[in-house]
Amino acid sequence: MPRFQFTIHATDGKARRGTIAMQRGEIRTPAFMPVGTAATVKAVKPQDVRASGADILLGNTYHLMLRPTAERVHKLGGLHKFMGWDRPILTDSGGYQVMSLSELTKRSEEGVAFASHLDGSRHMMSPERSMEIQRLLGSDIVMAFDELVPTTSTREVQAKAMERSMRWAKRSRAGFDSGEEHAARAALFGIQQGALDEGLRKASADALKDIGFDGYAVGGLAVGEGQEAMFGVLDYAPGQLDETKPRYLMGVGKPDDIVGAVERGIDMFDCVLPTRSGRTGQAFTRHGPINIRNARFAEDQGPLDPACACPVCGTWSRAYIHHLVRAGEILGAMLMTEHNLWFYQALMADLRAAIEEQRLTAFANDFRAKYQATKG
Ligand SMILES: [Zn+2]
């Protein structure tokens, strides 16, 4: 297997059907990456995550650096061995969570000083430290460290953050390359910033291209701006990036967000929604999400989603899962999460097939019509 090779097999409009080949395996795109925050996709064993159709997982640098620490994971043979997942893992840079979860943050050109949300201990995160942590974890796809500001910030604030992110992208590239053994088998993605401003997005894309990365993320979206504003950016942002490389929309999203983003040329996604929703009683179905705690499911003998091929839907009823979730049984969270992961992976498989067969628009319209039919 090559270190990193992206092949586009088919296109339909702006959408691409591709494969990323890496040493730990192939990633079919468009791809959805389940989130394994603390070296686990919550409530699901790795082999069951794989059985749902996932080719790659996401791990969170911020959480792992604090507990059990990247140094300990490295000592124990790396994240793959530690958690029992031998396929590719993408790690985020830690930046988003340092800036949203930690306390007493202080930003400077060097990086971000912060206090752990777990025990108040002081840490410093910088492009170099982020690259070191992701290397210690043994990540396959490493994300550059960037600075985030709210989309509601002034253009001046956004411009300064974007420019600093590009300086940090350059330092991330150098930090990644200095870990020669790791850099020989892993990939590094840059992150486009610029909030909702087309000019800033273009300047960011050009700066990243000059540095050169294996793939590019559209960053700074899915932070509360709403689907319309997000799609507004996605109408032009993917086209500003190197078309021969994968494009990753971080932290997205709801099923209809994913469909719309694939139509606009996005190749990779991650989101906590299928797993987090599974633990709070929300199941995804072809007709929209349902809340399994609702009394109307108490004697419903049908599966969570009649169109689903997952092991949960093949065995257990809505009534049983309703009972488990209401009773606070751990199995309830496990079954709900497994089903939701299958739902997301089936959606990605359907999108890939639709692109291959040049019928993405018809598929997307049909999906939206059905998915919204019983929403809310
Ligand atoms: Zn199912």
- Give burial (CB, 10 Å; 0-12/13-18/19+) of 200: buried
pLDDT number for residue 93 = 96
Provide the annotated active-site residues: 92, 270
Cα–ligand 1 centroid distance for 82 (angstroms): 28
Distance of CA 194 to the CA centre of its chain: 19
pLDDT for 375: 46
Residue 241: CB atoms within 10 Å: 25
pLDDT at 376: 42
Single-letter amino acid code for the residue at 96: Y
User: Which residues are placed with Cβ below 5 angstroms of ligand 1, an ion?
Assistant: 308, 310, 312-313, 339
For residues 133 and 142, give the distance between their C-alpha atoms in angstroms, rounded to a whole number.
10
CA atoms within 13 A on the CB side of 304: 34
User: Which pLDDT does position 100 carry in this prediction?
Assistant: 85
Residue 331 CA to ligand 1 centre (angstroms) = 15
pLDDT at 258: 98
pLDDT at 373: 56
Paired tokens of 7: 């092949």
pLDDT confidence of residue 150: 84
Question: pLDDT below 50 — which residues of the chain?
Answer: 375-376
Distance CA 359, CA 134 (A): 39
Dist CA 61 CA 57 (whole Å): 13
Question: Which among 316, 83, 269, 16 has a CA at the least distance from the CA of 324?
Answer: 316
